[in-house]
Amino acid sequence: MALTRALIADDSRIFRILMTDVLAERGVEVLEAATGKEALEVMLAQRPQLAVLDGLMPLLSGFDVIKKVREAAPDYTPVIIIVTAVYKSRGYEAEARRQYQVHEYLQKPLEPEDLLEAIGRHFPEFAGPPPKV
């Protein structure tokens, strides 16, 4: 399945802009959320195939968003990437993968190439350089 719609949820506007540009350059429709509550609403209403969630956001954490989405829509199974500047130990990553079934766990600061590499593990069209326009 090709990636056509993604959510970038982070309370940092700069992070959202940077990651949105990276994905839009690849032809992906990007939805944005600045809070966990917004992320939850977007995920349930728009059902993006990919959700890049900040681990620590206002109103709901990225982990809370995952839990609530799974409770509300158990048949909806997007690829979920957690990004964090706070929860940086291997223990946090292991717990996120085990308890929340996140697909990727990335630490900030995050380079666009790191995000593309992680996405490419789940959406093969993201492997390699961006398409030439």
Judge whether 48 lies within some domain.
yes
> Cα dihedral angle (60, 65, 67, 69), rounded to 10 degrees?
140
**pLDDT score recorded for residue 97:** 74
CA distance 66 to 91: 19
* pLDDT over 60 at 130, yes or no: no
Domain that holds residue 98: 5-121
Judge whether 132 lies within some domain.
no
| Mean pLDDT estimate for the chain | 89
Is 130:25 a contact under the CB 8 Å cutoff?
yes
What DSSP element (H or E) covers 24? Answer: helix 13-24
Is 61:69 a contact under the CB 8 Å cutoff?
no
Q: Can you give the pTM of this predicted structure?
A: 0.90
Rg (CA), the chain: 14
pLDDT above 70: percentage of residues in the chain: 89
**pLDDT score recorded for residue 2:** 85
pLDDT in tens, 43-88: 999 999 999 999 988 888 999 999 999 999 999 999 999 998 765 5
Judge whether 49 lies within some domain.
yes
Judge whether 81 lies within some domain.
yes
- For residue 117, the domain's CATH number is 3.40.50.2300
